[in-house]
Amino acid sequence: MTSTAPAKSTAPAKSTATKTAAEKTGAGTEEAAALIDDARARIDTLDDRIIGLVQERMAVSAVIQEARITSGGRRINLAREMEVLGSYRDALGRPGTALAMTLLELCRGRA
């Protein structure tokens, strides 16, 4: 019995190293690809800064929680969290609320 499966290509796949900048970015021209590469580098830098700020926010939040707990209070202040949610929603719209929820979750630490 002969196999009816299609023959596999023996041609090597085009590696990302040999792709043009336009192919890597999805741009229609090399000029647009250069613009996209520069913008992506800026986004990477911004993301690094954002991550650092989130980590700093987590550390500050831990100090606040520790002070609240050692003074006999609760670890979480829901009224304050509602303020934060409102601030993000006002500044960024509905997706801002989801972002704030994620930040609050990260900053609550472990119970």
- Which has the closest alpha carbon to 85: 97, 94, 99, 102? 97
Q: Report d(CA 102, CA 51) in Å as an integer.
A: 13
pLDDT tens, 67-99? Answer: 999 999 999 999 999 999 999 999 999 999 999
Distances (CA, A) of 51 to 8, 47, 54, 57, 87: 44, 6, 5, 10, 20
Q: What is the pLDDT of residues 17-51, one digit of tens each?
A: 578 887 888 888 888 999 999 999 999 999 999 99
What does pTM read for this prediction?
Answer: 0.74
Q: Are 101 and 85 in contact (CB under 8 A)?
A: yes
Residue 36 token pair: 């996209």
Sign of CA dihedral 75, 79, 85, 87: negative
Task: Report the alpha-carbon distance of residue 11 to residue 30 in Å, rounded.
Answer: 26
